[in-house]
Structure 1
Amino acid sequence: MPAMRDPFQLGEDRFLAWLASRFRARGGSAFSLGIGDDAAVLAGRPARVVTVDQMLEGRHFRFRWIVPRALGRRAVERALSDIAAMGARPEGVLLALSWPRGGEWGRKARALFEGLGGALDRRGVPLVGGDTTRARVGHAALAVVAVGRPWPGGPVLRSGGRPGDLLAVTGPLGAAAAGHLLCSGRLAPPGDRAGRRAAGAALRAFREPTARLELARPLARHARALIDLSDGLGLDLPRLAAASGCGFEVEAERIPVAPAARRLLGERRAFRAAIAGGEDYELLAAIPPDRLPAAERAVARAGGALHVVGRLTAPGGGGRLVRRGAFAPWPAGGWDPFRPPLDAGRPGRVDRAGRRRSGRR
């Protein structure tokens, strides 16, 4: 890739490719996998997986959208989702926190740590270190580093898929995107009882996501490739396919659209949210057809379900969406952190043509 003046002009995927080529692991490195997956892999017996996830005020969250206690829980689950996507279980986290001083901010900090501590206690994961510093008001930030150990069969990489593997997601999509629209004021809260229930479900999905840690163990045994869908099916599926050297096909009717999104957005917008909304923190797995029955049984025993949406295809075919027998190009879209926000409350989103759209996070 040519020299660049501004890395933010590249978009996330091209920038990560540039980083991987620039900082390729040297011979003798302790890492068997570096940049390009949901987590790095530290070689050893057993191996370890390591990831980091950050959230910046005004970019990923606003305090008028989310209370500090929920923010703490959200920070933990976002990082642990990357551990789950490697077919691993978490062993510990570190926290880097930039926070303003003052009475109000002291109260917010206590609530943040209550939420963070509660989430870690529920997961049985210790906080083992980190770093803190003072921030200006309006510039709070936190980053969570998570370390995990792969389950038997793991770590599961994005690159393990093969043509013919079935593509399955672990739950409905689109509710968190509807929740973000409600928080940002771009979707009016419904007045009827069913609408209010749907709005509550959407807001919970956005504010308090849940990492699919309980499914990491069965998927480590049965999946050939895994990725989490934090950036949206529209971007994350092509990433898995590209890493595996495959094309893909998805049947539109099989994509599990969240009922809350359908109720709040209508069929067409809800379908788009399920593809490009992200923030649902479900997992996408590539599973050989002969392993699917066993995978479904194992995932069901863990309290989950698999929704087969398509398959990987031979390389060179790109991505296609199949709707009632007709083929169309894959409608890629989702979160790209390098796209500038359109305004102070609408982080950037990129669509298939590279145009900026209002976004989430």
Structure 2
Amino acid sequence: MATEFPARYTGPTVAEIGERATIRAILDAAPSHRNGDDAAVLPLPNPNTRTVVTTDMLVEGRHFRLDWSRAAEIGHKAVVQNFADIEAMGARPVAVVLALSTPGHTPVDFITELARGVGDRVSAYSADLAGGDLTGGEHVVVSVSAIGHLGGSLPALTLDAARPGQAVVASGRIGYSAAGLALLQRYGREQVPAEFSGLVDAHLAPTVDPGRGVIARAAGASSMTDNSDGLITDLGTIARRSQVGIDLADLAIAPDELLTAAGKLLGVDPWTWVLTGGEDHTLIGTTSKDAPSGFRVIGAVHRRRAGATVTVDSVPPVHSAGWDSFPGSGGGILDSETP
């Protein structure tokens, strides 16, 4: 089925003005002195600094719906999910490149708004949109690659560096994005009760505070990830890679009043969103020291033992499924009531 764009996007289409004019519109919407040549030339990082690279993709119908998401929110989300990966390594994001596939009947207004969303988000990190690519396709696909710098001699925050005796710490909300998705699935964007707008925003345009990963690394954290696939799934990855067990504190991760109210409205156990709902991009790590600034303690690391790899108050979690990219295994955010 052909992509249908909301009526708010008017004016000429990409096919009508052509590729070059569309690229000029992107450059105008998200200006950067590094963008617009055959390739971007980035300055060498400071001595004793390493380069960190990641890439991620948003596909229409799988990761966003045009009747829910505004173009700027799609651009915003594409940047955040990549910058969260950079931050989770303890690095500082410095640039992104954007690849966009879109149908010929795409309104140019949609493209420029998406580019503004990308530009606004990279600016919040003092980073640049350094280049990209534009091509035709049947549906809207947004692919972002992000570049970061890891300064100093401290090791990166990796998945295999959690150690028994450490605290598990988190920066950001847990479960909000999944709750927002459930509300959108039930009501659509326009009919979601106003008191739950914060949950919807958390799904459509998640945020990660700039610099949190850098702060955590400087403060002594050893491992870190971002909550993209679900709390139990992502912490389970750390536990398996580090060959440890992780026990979460019930009171530290319990659904707050807003999640509880949304669960009551929808008839859903809000613990499902906390334990299995990804795309919050909350930074979750382990440390032997005090919780870094902006982080809170949510659990502890222990020696690996028989039973569940990740527990809640020493009991296997009541919900443990997480995001999976392939529908046959029950994954996907738009084809499942609880991602």
Smaller-chain TM-score bracket? 0.7 to 0.9
Q: Counterparts of 1:1-361 in structure 2 under 5 Å?
A: 45-102=48-105, 104-136=106-138, 139-152=139-152, 153-185=154-186, 196-197=194-195, 199-221=196-218, 222-266=220-264, 269-288=269-288, 291-292=289-290, 295-296=291-292, 299=293, 304=294, 306-317=295-306, 318-323=308-313, 327-328=315-316, 331-340=319-328, 346-347=334-335, 358-360=337-339
The CA distance in 2 between the partners of 1:200 and 1:209, in whole Å, is 13
Distance 1:307 1:45, change over 3 A: closer
8 Å contact kept, 1:321–1:331: no
The CA distance in 2 between the partners of 1:210 and 1:343, in whole Å, is 23
8 Å contact kept, 1:160–1:225: yes
Unaligned runs of 5+ in 1: 1-43, 349-357
8 Å contact kept, 1:49–1:150: yes
Residues 223-262 of structure 1: CA deviation (Å, up to 9, x unaligned): 1110000111020000011111111212222215344222
8 Å contact kept, 2:79–2:121: yes
The CA distance in 2 between the partners of 1:330 and 1:247, in whole Å, is 17
Aligned residue pairs total 289
8 Å contact kept, 1:335–1:359: no
8 Å contact kept, 1:276–1:333: yes
Distance 1:215 1:65, change over 3 A: same
8 Å contact kept, 1:80–1:90: yes
Distance 1:281 1:339, change over 3 A: same
The CA distance in 1 between the partners of 2:190 and 2:207, in whole Å, is 24
The CA distance in 2 between the partners of 1:133 and 1:126, in whole Å, is 21
The CA distance in 2 between the partners of 1:249 and 1:190, in whole Å, is 38
Distance 1:174 1:343, change over 3 A: closer
Tell me the CA shift for residue 169 of structure 1: 1.4
Aligned-partner residue type, residue 132 of structure 1: L
Q: Residue 87 of structure 1 aligns to a residue in which SS?
A: coil
Residues 88-110 of structure 1: CA deviation (Å, up to 9, x unaligned): 101111111101123x5322111
The CA distance in 1 between the partners of 2:206 and 2:100, in whole Å, is 20
8 Å contact kept, 2:165–2:301: yes
- For the aligned residue pairs, the C-alpha RMSD in angstroms reads 2.7
Q: Return the TM-score normalized by structure 1.
A: 0.73
8 Å contact kept, 1:51–1:82: yes
Q: Residue 208 of structure 2 aligns to a residue in which SS?
A: coil
The CA distance in 2 between the partners of 1:70 and 1:168, in whole Å, is 28
Q: Return the TM-score normalized by structure 2.
A: 0.77
Q: Residue 173 of structure 1 aligns to a residue in which SS?
A: coil
Q: Residue 261 of structure 1 aligns to a residue in which SS?
A: helix
The CA distance in 2 between the partners of 1:187 and 1:115, in whole Å, is 22
Q: Residue 76 of structure 1 aligns to a residue in which SS?
A: helix
8 Å contact kept, 1:319–1:329: no
Tell me the CA shift for residue 123 of structure 1: 1.9
The CA distance in 2 between the partners of 1:280 and 1:101, in whole Å, is 32
8 Å contact kept, 1:98–1:134: yes
The CA distance in 1 between the partners of 2:184 and 2:309, in whole Å, is 32
Tell me the CA shift for residue 211 of structure 1: 2.1
Residues 52-93 of structure 1: CA deviation (Å, up to 9, x unaligned): 010000110110110111111111111101001000101111
Residues 181-224 of structure 1: CA deviation (Å, up to 9, x unaligned): 12222689989xxx622x11111111111123321122112211
8 Å contact kept, 2:324–2:330: no
8 Å contact kept, 1:320–1:330: no
Unaligned runs of 5+ in 2: 1-46
8 Å contact kept, 1:256–1:307: no
- Greater Cα shift, 248-257 or 55-64: 248-257
8 Å contact kept, 2:244–2:309: no
8 Å contact kept, 1:84–1:212: no
Q: Percent identity between the aligned chains?
A: 27
8 Å contact kept, 2:177–2:202: yes
The CA distance in 2 between the partners of 1:151 and 1:177, in whole Å, is 34
The CA distance in 2 between the partners of 1:280 and 1:220, in whole Å, is 20
Distance 1:329 1:72, change over 3 A: closer
